[in-house]
Structure 1
């Protein structure tokens, strides 16, 4: 397919374009049609993964908390069973309800202390168990061997706990119905007590120690928080949890809005609320490698859409658009248009072939133009030869008329003017002459006619001195003067001729403006119609009038579409010629 075939292909009727598919729109459309839904799906799936990972993390935390809760409840129930057994059926324990001798108290307490030690060994969550007899002012306690505390720390804890427990019991503030929270010496404890008359068995759980056990034994890498259902008792991480949020953490999970985020779940162990707050460092830290890869793919897909679109635009759409614009320019006759070379091999081959065809067509067009120019020059010379005989015959006819009337002196003057004119005519060897010579022959012809016809002619000639040497077709202005003299006389009126040459300066260029006018009857409508259509004028007898037609044709051949002419009537015939002025084109 040659370039004209391509032009034809791209230039078919617009009505058929609705049934076509534009490649430059189809490729980005297909890409966006695939990538955008894919990116949306990946984003939605990533959101689902993030939510699933978050829920999974909460389930993991809840499972850990439930295991710990189960062990804590087991400890609390086992301890209550031991305490209940001692209170209800241990004679040695019950004997402390009455006053005893010091030796008896030591003997009776040994068996009780062994029971306490056995329970502490079986329940590592317990911190200490003690017996207190207000009647005997006797207090003895056993501490869990699993607690890694020094003797000094043990003595200090005993010094803090013993007087506080005594105070609570003596003042009746010790709640014997359940486990309860109490702070002693800056540490928080969970206390439980049972009594037989005036002797009390007390169990103590150290809340700080429970957090250590949770980390070591249950792999809970967060913090255990204890509460009573509405209030956080220990430790206070400044989470600012409301009762509703604690309830939500129990039903599902909660991520705090604090500076340090925590994932929070809670469980209820009787009336005690266990809250597990695990540091939450963001969803990425909770994800597996597979989840992170999917999330990265989703982000890359979203980011890649604009970049790949731009890449496709440069690689495919832009070359096709440029190719289309180039073909449209060729259709408009601009064979200087060429297609750029692009990276895609197929586009490069098409562009190279198209550029080669454009160069070949340009060379053919130049050769055709040169042949047409040669033909126009031949036609131009023929048109000039048609004007000269027409003028010769008019001059000879006038001299013949003067000879018949015996006007010898006038004939001499006429012959002088005629010889000057003929010298101008016979010396014309080019297709253009200087404006000055054409203006002189126009004045000479008016004087020649005035002598011949014994009629005064008022001839007004004005011109821009800069334009005296510009080239114009010979005998061109003379033709308008001749026609004005031939058709412009009105009985009883002096003929006035005007010939004016000037410049019109515009923003784009400079134009030469020539006016040829007379005060005669003007042009007929048929003449103006023929001139407007650039047709040769034919009178009612079928005779062709080639003067004005040939002048316009010669100007058109020289200046092409840059030449314009206007013929109208304004107090007589008025002719205006416009053509471009090129500085330095003087003859």
Structure 2
């Protein structure tokens, strides 16, 4: 009985269940400590935020009081403004304005340059800026209009106070005092007033709301948090009456704020303690023997698969009597090995057949009407009695078709492709009775470079079909030169014409790596050439399509050097 019990399997779920029951008390302690830490950190964060806002309010209150006193004293007692009277002249006004700006500059040195000052004399309709402007001219005109309207039509209430106002879509706080037709104003934007608070970490969804003492909102730095995330943010009110300010601040801040990292660190510490309590239990030894050790044995046997043959892999035993799951995995794994081996062979053979079929199909995509056109041309020449021309046409045509029917290899010499293109041009010149200015400039040593068959003829046919030269005759040139790419020798074959060039949409598609698909089948030969190059060279080729600045289309094909011996070896391998 003991032996039978020792060989019984133990499910992993049963072992993990016992581990879970052991961890429950530790989890309860962890939740309690985390909750208390969260509450305490939230309280400390709110207290720090309140202290920072209180310091800010006290400083701002003193600054606004000082500016208000300066505005009142200047407009009532400063002799500089006595110059603005009907008895003075424009030169006196200008001098008084300069003196006022000096006085304001001294005040800005202690209160800040963000506070702008303006002076308005309604009897003389003079409005000047007594400080450096921090707004554009359009905003300046709207500020001027606002001040003049407030002087001419006084608002009800206490005028000796800072008043929020929206000017040109931006909120400002301004203080205005009028005495004996002379008005002195101090104005500052809410952004500048609240700028010290923007350095406080309020969280990704935190915001600051600016309200007047009546509760009207004039400014909000960001949208208030909504939904579930709103419960994670505190809303704190800092009333202006309590701080001697003309406005109230409403702040939505992250509950943890700057202490969030401390909470995260404490959370990780407690979580580490939880993990240690599970690891240091006496149940670890049992878990190791019944779970870890069998898995290690299973993994060790599995790693031997790479060094074994298919027959040995199929007979490899991965079972372990201590775990039922590993016994089931062993049976399923053996079936999977057999299936993967069979599928791998089938897929490999299918890919070979598919690639061969695609290459042959693309090579044999020849328009049948070309055969008929050639035969019709020969028949017409014979009917006219021009046997000499018919004989030449028949020779060119037979050479052209003989090459087509023999082009069943992956690669042919470049010289054969050049000769094939020249045969095609001879046929077209005789059939169309038109001269074609053809030239070929390729070094003799490059003529034995192996390229895919029927590659150049595609672009030559494309020129004959679609090129419309601006001159009397069509010009076609084929050039080639060597270059090095990725430490490998390449040849670039360039085909030019003097036609109207390629359409822009065709060039853009080629540059974007797209195939040309049209309803009328135009340019399909170019797409087939690109497909063939990808099948034969993968990413080891270059292809560009562009228009020459002087007119005409330019096709450039860059191919790696392949000599004739490589093609022969390939053909021999196929045989």
* TM-score for the superposition, normalised by structure 1: 0.39
* TM-score for the superposition, normalised by structure 2: 0.40
Greater C-alpha radius of gyration:
1
